[in-house]
Chain A
């Protein structure tokens, strides 16, 4: 191979690679545009949130199905009392709080015993979904609707599973230990169940970033936007994820993810599929995908819905290390779920989940990050090889940036016209600025973290290859 041949070969390779990356970028952007359009349509048709349920409740109509709120707790001795009090005080006609102490190393269980006057009870477990040992069950003497399950340490999935097993209500609400639930969050989330003919199995709700807000006593006092830029970028991300992607997916009956920070499920469905899996780091995504799979394989009519009203607030990481951890975990979780359920991919048996949503997940989580990386590397390469004029390269880069920002701004417009939960005009302007600045640095950093997640996944896969994994049936 002489020098000229090598040059042509490289040029050819670079050309095709860049074309492939370009196609991936176009597909991802197209998906986002469609989601924004569908979400706008959904919002357009949807009555402004009213206090319908609260209204009925005040009329003494006993309509709302009882809910068990499952709150896992691990080493929370300092905050547990406040958090539990906030959960007990949620506005809902009939709800029980099941705190699962997941083998905390600190005094969480003692604090609970002291502050809520716990007494041991003998409560049968309807279904044993956990793999660790249950140590004791308590009921509070001060609050009849507080149950505490003390168990050996497992993962969050295992703690939640234990709690689900002790729930006796038709609905269970699964939350994170640090979730701050809106005071009417349960009422909002239960609304789809009011119009349910028996097929609704899960409801997700919008989650926002709590950083910057004033929180006291485990509940939200005042909404504000975070001071740290890293958290502000995540505010923009959460808006995009919850107001466009999830609203659109739910509108098209293909919601794949109900965040672990807040989800309202039909208890019997969770028990039927055995609860959360504890051998994946993406148990919330995996659960919803498994619900789709289970129902479609067994011809069970089912529905999964989403309420765009805010139901819950969650802490966003403000250090790069924390963000790296979270994003790498999400990435790894998505890959694990895809791996477990690869059978659903392009399988018409799974309807639009198999034919549309799973392939999109592949584009977003498997091909997307490497393609983006190659894109960043290849444009300078193409430029150096002279197959791309510098002007054109820069122009395309500009277009992608502007386009990405336009999607964020479109989402912000949805939030502002429909929900209006940004405190002031000044805050609105800062979020808009964050949506623009996000393109220069944050997105790239995020890409690195996601690639780290892919690396973790590949490493764990090889580490486990000796152990035959239990297939899902």
Chain B
């Protein structure tokens, strides 16, 4: 019995020591090669920068490992914009630098797929977009789908809005901040799709999110949509309308913003107070003064702040 226990302990000990040795040696080698790896990355960066200007007559440096090239180019792509970036992208496409990422998009590990999405988004060539669309449509993980959608939104490759919403199961689930970001970036490029959707039958959280998204582009053409949202029966949507008015900053919305200071729901009154302050609606003063004795502490705070922000000072 004692012998067996000793043997077990010894096995554990041996395994542990082996593990420590592997870790330390790996790290030590890594440290030794760090300088070389860095030089390689720099060389790759310089090679591609030279090729951007060379008009493509020089080929990719063959002796550099693909990982170094990918790392250098994707980093450069993050830093640059304009025609030089386009040229660099074309070179990356030519060298098929993103092939490993396309392969990783089929990995069984969500972590690997998520990393692949970042690379694919950065390159954004037609093959990358196609791979992202497959992920959005078929991936098992909702987080991965959302990441793919966000990438596609920035690349302008998102399927029609209706489809995107059902692929992300947004009819059933509450939108998160990442959804709001996704639709905000979409609103910048395809506001008409969002306007179309607003005129249809959709859930209140979705409607509120779309109003938020639409106003982030700051387009004055949407004032009518916001005014309609301000009369919505869901307080969440009314709040979104007030936020939108604040963002767009058009004085014409005074007519429908002022009455909302007496909205029955406290968080709508909070938004209304902040909006009149931001837009400088001095005619709101009397109502704001009443709100400083509101039953909700948040309404009192925001009304007080609004009074001190409005021209004329706190009085």
Chain A interface (Cβ < 8 Å from any Cβ of B): 44-48, 50, 52, 56, 59, 61-63, 65, 124, 126-127, 168, 193-198, 389, 391-392, 394-396, 398-399, 401-403, 405-406, 409-410, 412-413, 416, 422, 424-425, 428-429, 432
If A44-B109, A395-B2 touch, does A197 touch B23 (CB 8 Å cutoff)? no
B2 and A45 contact, CB distance less than 8 A: no
Can you report 9 residue pairs joining A to B where beta carbons are below 8 Å apart?
Answer: A45-B109, A48-B115, A124-B300, A126-B297, A196-B177, A197-B175, A389-B2, A399-B8, A413-B23
**Chain B residues near A406 (CB, 8 Å)?**
12, 15-16
Residue of A45, A47, A194, A389 touching B176 (CB-CB under 8 A) = A194
> Does more than half of chain A's interface fall in helix, strand or loop, or is it mixed?
helix
A194 and B178 contact, CB distance less than 8 A: yes
B23 and A398 contact, CB distance less than 8 A: no
Q: How far is the CA of A47 from the CA of B9 in the complex (A)?
A: 35
**Chain A residues near B297 (CB, 8 Å)?**
124, 126-127
**Chain A residues near B30 (CB, 8 Å)?**
425
Chain B interface (Cβ < 8 Å from any Cβ of A): 1-3, 5-6, 8-9, 12-13, 15-16, 19-20, 23-28, 30-31, 109-111, 114-115, 118, 143, 146, 154, 173-178, 180-181, 184-185, 216, 297-298, 300-301, 304
> Does more than half of chain B's interface fall in helix, strand or loop, or is it mixed?
helix
**Chain A residues near B31 (CB, 8 Å)?**
424-425
**Chain A residues near B298 (CB, 8 Å)?**
126
If A61-B185, A395-B2, A428-B24 touch, does A197 touch B174 (CB 8 Å cutoff)? yes
A56 and B111 contact, CB distance less than 8 A: no
Residue of A44, A392, A416, A425 touching B2 (CB-CB under 8 A) = A392
Among all A-B residue pairs, the 9 with the closest Cβ atoms? A47-B114, A395-B5, A425-B28, A391-B2, A425-B27, A197-B174, A402-B12, A392-B2, A398-B9
Residue from the set B114, B177, B185 with the largest chain A CB neighbour count within 10 Å: B177
With contacts A63-B181, A395-B6 known, what are 7 further pairs, Cβ within 8 A?
A45-B110, A127-B297, A195-B143, A197-B173, A389-B2, A401-B9, A402-B12
Q: How far is the CB of A166 from chain B (nearest CB, A)?
A: 11
A412 and B23 contact, CB distance less than 8 A: yes
A409 and B16 contact, CB distance less than 8 A: yes
**Chain A residues near B175 (CB, 8 Å)?**
197
Q: How far is the CB of A457 from chain B (nearest CB, A)?
A: 35
Residue of B9, B15, B111, B184 touching A61 (CB-CB under 8 A) = B184
**Chain A residues near B173 (CB, 8 Å)?**
197
**Chain B residues near A412 (CB, 8 Å)?**
20, 23
Q: How far is the CA of A398 from the CA of B16 in the complex (A)?
A: 14
If A61-B185, A63-B177 touch, does A428 touch B111 (CB 8 Å cutoff)? no
Q: How far is the CB of B149 from chain A (nearest CB, A)?
A: 13
If A45-B110, A197-B174, A425-B27 touch, does A409 touch B1 (CB 8 Å cutoff)? no
**Chain B residues near A416 (CB, 8 Å)?**
23, 26-27
A197 and B176 contact, CB distance less than 8 A: yes
A47 and B181 contact, CB distance less than 8 A: no
